Amino acid sequence: MTTDFLSLPELKNKLGALLNYLYPNADTDALTQQCLEAIGPRINRAIVPPEQLWSEQDALLITYGNSIRSPNEKPLDTLEQFLHKHLQDTFSAVHVLPFFPHSSDGGFAVIDYTQVDAELGEWDDIETLGQDFKLMGDLVINHVSSQSGWFRNYQYGKDPGRDYFVEASPHYDLSMVVRPRTSPLLRAVETNEGVKHVWCTFSHDQIDVDFRNPKVLLEYLKIIGLYLDKGVQWLRLDAVAFLWKEIGTPCIHLPQTHEVIKLLRLLMEYKNAHAILISETNVPNRENLTYFGNSNEAHMIYNFSLPPLVIHALLSGNGQYLKGWLMSMPPSPVGCAYLNFTASHDGIGLRPAEGLLSDEELETFLKTLQSFGGRISSRTGQNGESKPYEANISLFDAFKGTYQGTDRWQEARLLCSQIIMLALEGIPAFYIHTLFATPNDLDKLEATQHNRSINRTNWHKGELETLLADPETPQHRIFNALQRLIRIRCAQPAFHPNATQFTLHLQPEVFGFWRQSLRRTQSIFCLNNLSDRPQEISLTNINLISTENWRDLISGEAVTDLYGTLTLAPYQCVWLTNYEKKV
């Protein structure tokens, strides 16, 4: 039996309260009705219990629509064929990075939210992917391309767009504004009314929209309604932390931003009870956690501190910072989950490591990544100083060696990082180039002069499949190993995204934690050697229950002496369990 998520009167009351806070001068009743009309007719009214929004069987693949290319094929067709051939039994969800017409920033300067980039395919291709996978799409909500119709209309004083953008005088004191870039915040533009200065948080091709205008909110609700109708079930709010602007504030994490997210979640769940809202907030850990709200904002938040900390642990051979972070992390609230990742289309965010890594550790970390071919991108601090913002490098090449230099353990370190991610509380997300052990793309970096291009390779399908079929290549070994590990993980109840997690206290070279299934039928002890030397662990320190049989899910080996010693080879990981569901 199914019931509505909220009755219409209840929904209107909740919406009205949020809208009255955001737009106190508006006609709240009329604006509430406009919001409902903008999101469009309902798709799915069935209540989904929080524990059933996701499960241990969920794993997400992150990819551009053209990460794999084949002559005379639409890239989205090529992607679909590759997924069906190789990965349909591995991943439940696919995040296709911005697939709209765009002018820059790898798709994140959107020209038209309602169209699919003709060079990739069309809406039918997106809908087909949404039939076979939980499909995740991007709502680039903070800004639009300077080539968009809205911005052209702004320049000509026409609707829609005439009053959609944030203006500010260059004489204002904007020193408090938090920036992720070093470019000037304001851009001078010619309009029918003369020169005006518009707000550009990210680049001068990405013009910030003004959510203080309720018409902008309604435009984005229409876009969300379209995405949901086209099969996009998971929605990623790009750069949402910067959404609301108030002169004299840092213009990040403002209360109004959180209220907008609450409103979006209400309307998304009203339209489709299976819809999931994900916040993308590349900020220090404490700030990131606020986007769960009171289980009424984002369903998922990116675990942004995980990439720098797990990479640091494997480069240094010491997990003290990673362990300290994990011990401080609260369980995700009811109806919420962490989205775990170690690599993405962007770089390794450094702000999420603030307060977690010391300045000395961060300096050594960045110098090591640079020695492996990485680049460092910067941002402007509140006092105008330049600060490291992200490290740009492929994850495979980030593990070329350690602080001592390059060595022979590159593949083992990469696999260790992914095994850690797979086992942690939350839903694992894999950037497609991690699966392929893609090295730094120095040719693309040189061609574009954009640091992020180093990790945005476009593989030719024939070349890639040749490498994947050859047992002598790292591409074959990593691809097959990760597929196997993901399938093992997805069969274990103790790896449910909300299953219990406790940190284990072991030597610094071993990062360990314990997971227990929601029904307490399965325990898994996750032990990971972060170093290039064997590590011995006394099993009495782990307290395996003596009346049960224990086995390592990864190697298949049984534990025969519960009071003995377990020796982990360099970068070896084990998942010791008292229960095994066959894959």
Distance CA 499, CA 496 (A): 5
Give me the active site residues, please: 238
- How remote is the C-alpha of 480 from its chain's centroid? 23
At 563, list the tokens: 């009071």
Q: What burial class does residue 341 get, using C-beta atoms within 10 Å of its C-beta: 0-12 exposed, 13-18 middle, 19+ buried?
A: buried
163 annotated ligand binder: no
408 annotated ligand binder: no
SS3 state of residue 21: helix
- Please say whether the beta carbons of 79 and 65 come within 8 A: yes
Which residue, among 268, 211, 255, has the nearest Cα to 15 in the 3D structure?
268
Strands 459-460 and 68-69: parallel
105 annotated ligand binder: yes
Q: Sort residue 40 into left (φ over 0), alpha (ψ -120 to 50) or beta.
A: left
φ and ψ of 235, to 5 deg: -120, 120
309 annotated ligand binder: no
At 448, list the tokens: 């574009």
Q: Scan for tokens 């550790």, then name that residue.
A: 361
Q: Sort residue 121 into left (φ over 0), alpha (ψ -120 to 50) or beta.
A: left
H or E segment to which residue 231 belongs: none
CB-side exposure of 237: number of CA atoms within 13 Å? 26
460 annotated ligand binder: no
At 476, list the tokens: 């074959």
86 annotated ligand binder: no
346 annotated ligand binder: yes
Strands (E), 127-214: 134-140, 143-145, 186-191, 194-199, 206-208
Q: How far is CA 207 from CA 108, 231, 448, in A?
A: 11, 28, 21
143 annotated ligand binder: yes
Q: Binding site, residues?
A: 105, 143, 236-238, 345-346, 452
Binding residues for substrate: 105, 143, 236-238, 345-346, 452
